Amino acid sequence: EVQLVQSGAELKKPGESLKISCKGSGYTFPKYWIAWVRQMPGKGLEWMGIIYPDDSDTRYSPSFQGQVTISVDKSINTAYLQWSRLKASDTAIYYCARPNMVSTLGAFDIWGQGTMVTVS
Amino acid sequence: DIVMTQSPDSLAVSLGERATINCKSSQTILSTSKNKHYLAWYQKKPGQPPKLLIYWASTRESGVPDRFSGSGSGTDFTLTISSLQAEDVAIYYCQQYYSPPPWTFGQGTEVEIK
């Protein structure tokens, strides 16, 4: 079964750092882009950025450039989203997602279950 | 960045009736080389991740009921639920995935039962 499994919920204080994860299984992980999507409480979906595990090519939305870091460890089929200094406004659910086409960009057919990050 | 604008923000439809959601892109999302529109539709229910319904503007994802259909061209696209069922209550998002990133979402349309 193709799936993305994300790390568990986090409760952090402002100014702390955080790294959440997204582990892929059931497919050739290095050959599919992995994206991160934010949903703030009561708000819509926001596309944050995307990484290609095979060569770590990373693209960010201008809204999130410099605010987060996306990385990957293809040896363990895991992508990461990290913050160096959290703010209360980072409180949200974060989803990772995989496009429906190998080695290229496309619609997201596989999603992680989401990681709730609370900064308070 | 390409801006995606959905309308309406919410709609209430009777069970068995048609629901129509519109999505407009601020610029073309058509690949002339592939002759495909880089437009997807997702269904989002509380406590669940988004679910892909439609991609390439009109291709239904495997397992999605055929009451869901996508259409449109140029910069105007539509998601239609032909006969609304109770389980279709959700928020629906369009998204463009036309290079280069960011691949923006619409603001969402909430569908409820009248």
List per-residue pLDDT tens for chain A, 120 residues long.
Answer: 999 999 999 999 999 999 999 999 999 999 999 999 999 999 999 999 999 999 999 999 999 999 999 999 999 999 999 999 999 999 999 999 999 988 788 899 999 999 999 999
- The model's confidence at residue B100, banded by pLDDT at 50, 70 and 90, is confident
Report whether pLDDT(B99) > 80.
no
- pLDDT value for A82: 98
Mean per-residue pLDDT for B17-29? 97
Are B5 and B107 contacting, i.e. CB atoms less than 8 angstroms apart?
yes
Counting one residue from chain A and one from chain B, the pairs whose CB atoms sit within 8 A come to 71
Is the previous residue joined to B8 through a cis bond, with omega within 30 degrees of 0? yes
CB neighbour class for A74 (10 Å; exposed up to 12, middle 13-18, buried from 19): middle
Contact B61 A63 (CB under 8 A): no
Percent of chain B with pLDDT over 70: 100
* Chain A interface, best mutation among B23, B58, B97, by max A CB count within 10 A: B97
- The model's confidence at residue B15, banded by pLDDT at 50, 70 and 90, is very high
Other C-beta atoms closer than 10 Å to the C-beta of A112 total 25
- pLDDT value for B79: 98
- pLDDT value for A85: 98
- The model's confidence at residue B101, banded by pLDDT at 50, 70 and 90, is confident
Pairing relationship of beta strands A10-12 and A115-119 according to DSSP bridges: parallel
Are A78 and A23 contacting, i.e. CB atoms less than 8 angstroms apart?
yes
The Cα–Cα gap between A16 and B30 comes to: 43
Report whether pLDDT(B13) > 80.
yes
- pLDDT value for A105: 80
Other C-beta atoms closer than 10 Å to the C-beta of A13 total 9
The Cα–Cα gap between A112 and A105 comes to: 18
**What are the tokens at B61?**
């994802």
Cβ-Cβ contacts under 8 Å for B39 (sequence gap 6 or more): B23, B25, B29, B54, B55, B56, B57, B70, B72, B77, B94, B95, B96, B97
Contacts of A6 in chain B (CB under 8 A): none
In A8-68, where do the E strands start and end? 10-12, 18-25, 34-39, 45-52, 57-60
Mean per-residue pLDDT for B58-63? 97
Mean per-residue pLDDT for B70-96? 97
Report yes or no: A36 at the B interface, CB cutoff 8 Å: no
**Position with higher pLDDT, B101 vs B23:** B23
